[in-house]
Amino acid sequence: MYNAFFGLTENPFNLSPDPNFLYRSAQHEEALANLIYGVQSRKGFIVLTGEVGTGKTTMLECLRDFLGSQEIPFAFLFNSRLTPEQFFEMLAYDFDLACSRQSKTEVLFALNAVLLARAETGPTTVLIVDEAHNLEWDVLEEIRLLGNLENRRGKLLQIILAGQPELDRKLDLPELRQLKQRIALRTQLNPFPPEETALYIASRLGHAGRAHQDIFPPDVLAELHLRTEGIPRLINSVCDNLLLMAFAMESKVVTMPMLDEVTNDLRLVWPEGTAPALS
């Protein structure tokens, strides 16, 4: 809506986890490098955790692009509220296994055969589970057992569990200690520090065709960081609304009163209880 007004070719603050808009912060870069390293060196279990909206699914999408480019087969489960039966059905579907998808024994048999054949000749195989904090104990147990498949070169199936910090807490439960012990690599995403919030905004605007960021003045950026607590999804929402408001007011820059109104409309609450100064 406001794209032409700001000289943008597309919406810079979309909420989808689009790798084309990736801002390569040091921690996102490291997380992605860890995921790729874990897969390539056949580490077995890899866990990615981070608060809501910090970029986990975006990292998985980047990994998916990488796996595609390397022709490494993978299954991507993004609905983690599954029964064990549904889990095996989805595995069979995603890996295109030639077996009865309703029979756990058949799925396991077919999967094992495919993994073994691939391990001899081809690349490894990857199972990605997003929102893994929602996995029930019995599905996690099945996943742990899949992680046991190995040959001399390493694990046959690389398993990436991504989720909110509850996942870490779940893995700390005594009944999941066997799984916890098998996690070879852990990586974590945190909210941005203030300077990265500014760089992130400039980077997204750059991807959308505006090379020079002069829409958000420094004082607004500093306050925007405080109110979004450096969380990418919240930054996107606030920035999108700010651009819309500036456009409606025919202003090429955003201002503090606009920020107050937007954060109020979005009902944002942030630490220190600094309520927006609405007149």
Ligand X SMILES: Nc1ncnc2c1ncn2[C@@H]1O[C@H](COP(=O)(O)OP(=O)(O)OP(=O)(O)O)[C@@H](O)[C@H]1O
User: Which of 28, 155, 225, 227: binder of ligand X (CB under 6 A)?
Assistant: 28
Number of residues that bind ligand X (CB under 6 A): 21
Select the binding partner of residue 11 from Mg ion, ligand X, none (C-beta < 5 to 8 A, by kind): none
Shortest distance in whole angstroms from residue 265 CB to Mg ion: 24
Interface with ligand X, residue 55, by CB under 6 A: yes
For 223-229, the CB contacts below 8 A with 24+ separation are 223/256, 223/259, 224/197, 224/259, 225/192, 225/194, 225/197, 225/198, 226/270, 226/272, 226/274, 227/259, 227/263, 227/268, 227/270, 228/197, 228/268, 228/270, 229/191, 229/270, 229/271
Closer residue to Mg ion (CB): 78 or 109: 78
Closer residue to ligand X (CB): 16 or 79: 16
Shortest distance in whole angstroms from residue 266 CB to ligand X: 15
| Residues whose CB falls within 8 Å of the CB of residue 270, separated by 6 or more in sequence, listed in order | 226, 227, 228, 229
Q: Cα(42)–Cα(157) distance, rounded to whole angstroms? A: 8
Shortest distance in whole angstroms from residue 10 CB to Mg ion: 22
User: Which of 3, 14, 41, 57: binder of Mg ion (CB under 5 A)?
Assistant: 57
Angstrom CA distances, 225 to 166, 194, 196, 199, stand at: 25, 6, 9, 11
Which residue minimizes CB distance to Mg ion? 57
3-state secondary structure of 64: helix
Closer residue to ligand X (CB): 1 or 15: 15
User: Which of 31, 38, 45, 56: binder of ligand X (CB under 6 A)?
Assistant: 56
Distance of CA 95 to the CA centre of its chain: 22
Select the binding partner of residue 248 from Mg ion, ligand X, none (C-beta < 5 to 8 A, by kind): none
Under the rule (CB under 5 A), what is the footprint of Mg ion?
Answer: 56-57
Residues that bind ligand X (CB under 6 A): 15-18, 21-23, 25, 28, 50, 52-58, 164, 232-233, 236
